Amino acid sequence: MRWVHIGIGAIIAAYVYSPWGSLPLFQLAVQAIVLPSVILSGLWLWKGHLLRKMVPLLFIATLPAFTPVNSETTTASLTVDVKGLTKKGILYVGLYTPANKFAELSDSFKTVTISITNQTEALATFTDLPPGEYAIAIYQDTNGNKKLDTNLFGYPKEPFGFSNNVKPKLSAPGFTDCRVTLSGNKTITINPLD
């Protein structure tokens, strides 16, 4: 260690007393590598007996900083596989939390729109979702008026559907009927009703 310290000192002397000190690359090497090395080796020579006792403690103290954090449970994705599409139009897939007014597209937590031309199946993926309860409502706008058309009694005239493939009886289902618990990545299938 003593010879390393002496060798590094010679490089610093060359930096100070030779014309190499004016070279930018040599200046950077001395300032960023050589000078810190001579300081550390000098400390080691001076207080090495104490530093040898502290190295294991420093290693143990800094170990948590290098331990990877398990981020798998912080967010997840929910993929909605809509099968059985028979018409052309825009498919709206709305994701709802308990705080949203379920099945109201304007109040969805997140929305994915997909243009349907010839396909009979479409995938919508919602990413970066915290674990919890969600519900899905879909409808397909077949006439391009950006709303779900209903008949005189309020029943949809365009394809629609809900998570858990809940079929409405007298009114639209509630959030609890359609809820999906998300604790990791999940794929659900919805078959639209006509």
Task: Give the model's pLDDT for residue 62.
Answer: 65
Regions of the chain with pLDDT less than 70: 1, 51, 55, 57-73
Task: Give the model's pLDDT for residue 113.
Answer: 94
**pTM for the structure as a whole:** 0.61
Task: Give the model's pLDDT for residue 109.
Answer: 93
Give long-range contacts, CB 8 A cutoff, 24+ apart: 59-67: none
Task: Give the model's pLDDT for residue 23.
Answer: 77
Q: Which two tokens stand for residue 32?
A: 């960023």
Task: Give the model's pLDDT for residue 65.
Answer: 60
CA torsion 73-77-83-88 (nearest 10°) is 170
Task: Give the model's pLDDT for residue 36.
Answer: 79
Class of domain 76-190: mainly beta
Task: Give the model's pLDDT for residue 95.
Answer: 95
Q: Residue ranges of the domains in the chain?
A: 2-66, 76-190
